[in-house]
Amino acid sequence: MKRRIVHEKVEKYLITNRTIAIHPFINQWGRVCAEIYEEDAVFLVEKKPFRIIKDSCPYYGSTYDGKKDATQIILGRMCFPPIMIDTKLDIFFFPTKSPRKDSCIWLSQPHIDDIVSIDRKKVRVIFSNGMDLPIESTSTSLKGKLHRAAHYRSVLITRTNRSLEKDSEIGLKNSDLLFT
């Protein structure tokens, strides 16, 4: 079954758990803008993809730099770390190259089903909704970034679940906590 994708231009955009990819494009005036792929829509935003990532982070409780630092504390120093935008909503993104490059694409790790080689330096990313996106990258490089993001997501989900289990073992509830 073929999905109908709706294209819509919007002024502002915040990443949600429906966002699957943020792809740069050059508009008619030569400015870098973002094409945002959601499960059933594509939005055009006159902001760079990196700006959309940076602007979305505070909405979910921290700055981009704070989220980047947390990733590197947990996984160690690395180039182009994945970013956890929100654990509860399962929003984890990773860049295909340096986030500061205008050609960087941001991909949502939970939405990726597969990465298939097209040729030596080009792959097709297959998303959970059936959409696919060709990207200039080697399969090895992009799969490594995907696995690193999946590992980071797994670590954070495991930590969250352990905390919830401990709280239930000792009978803590939100209503039991008093803040003074």
What's the pTM?
Answer: 0.86
- The CA distance from 72 to 64, in Å, is 12
78 vs 71: CA distance, rounded Å: 9
Residue among 21, 2, 40, 161 at smallest CA distance from 92: 21
pLDDT tens-digit map of 79-125: 999 999 998 999 999 999 999 999 999 999 999 999 999 999 999 99
- Pick the range with the lowest mean pLDDT from 93-102, 115-124, 139-148, 164-173: 164-173
pLDDT in tens, 16-46: 999 999 999 998 899 999 999 999 889 999 9
As a whole number of angstroms, the distance between CA 161 and CA 88 comes to 11
What pLDDT was estimated at residue 159?
87
Q: Helix crossing, 64-75 with 139-169: angle to 10°? A: 90
The residues with which 123 forms a beta bridge, in sequence order, are 117, 135
Q: Collapsing DSSP states into helix, strand and coil, what is residue 19?
A: strand
- And the tokens for 92? 């984890």
